[in-house]
Amino acid sequence: MLLSALLPALLASLALARPPSRRSVHETRRSLPAGWNPVRRANAGDILPLSVGLVQNNLDNLESYLLDVADPGSPNYAQHWTTARVAETFRPSAEAVDAVRAWLEEDGTIAPERIVLSTSGGWLTANVTVAEAEALLGTEYYEYEHARDGRTHLACHGAYSVPAHVASHVDLITPTLHFDAGMRRHGYNTSKNIGTTGFGARPKVGGEVHSIFTELEHCDEVITLACLRALYDFVYIPLATKKNSIGVVEYSPESHLDSDFDVFFGNYSKSQVGKRPIFVGIDGAELTDNEFFAESSLDLQYVMGLVGGKQPVTLYQVGDNVEGGSFNTFLNALDGGNDPNVDPAYPDPFGGYSGPEQCGGAPQTFVVSTSYGYQEAELSLAYTQRQCAEYGKLSLTGMTFVYSSGDAGVSGPFGDCLDENNEENFFNGTRFNPTFPGGCQYVTSVGATQVKPGNKVTDPEVAVFQLFPSGGGFSNHFPRPSFQDAAVSSYLAYHAPDYPAGTFNTTGRAYPDVSANGLNYSVAIDGQLQLVSGTSASAPTFASVLSAINDARLAVGKKPVGWVNPALYKFEGAFNDITEGDNPGCDTDGFSAAKGWDPVTGLGTPNYLKLVASFLLLQ
Q: List active site positions.
A: 295, 299, 536
CB–CB of 126/110 below 8 Å? yes
Calpha distance 453→263 (Å, rounded): 27
CB–CB of 565/473 below 8 Å? no
CB-based contacts of 154, cutoff 8 Å, min separation 6 = 42, 46, 48, 141, 142, 143, 144, 175, 191, 192
Calpha distance 389→372 (Å, rounded): 18
Picking from 382, 499, 327, the residue whose alpha carbon sits closest to that of residue 430 is 499
Q: Is the torsion defined by CA of 577, 578, 584, 585 positive or negative?
A: negative
CB–CB of 169/96 below 8 Å? yes
Burial class (CB in 10 A: 0-12, 13-18, 19+), 385: middle
Picking from 44, 121, 49, the residue whose alpha carbon sits closest to that of residue 88 is 121
Burial class (CB in 10 A: 0-12, 13-18, 19+), 210: exposed
CA dihedral 415, 385, 382, 121 (to 10 degrees): 140
In this structure, are strands 417-418 and 528-533 parallel, antiparallel, or unpaired?
unpaired
CB–CB of 224/522 below 8 Å? yes
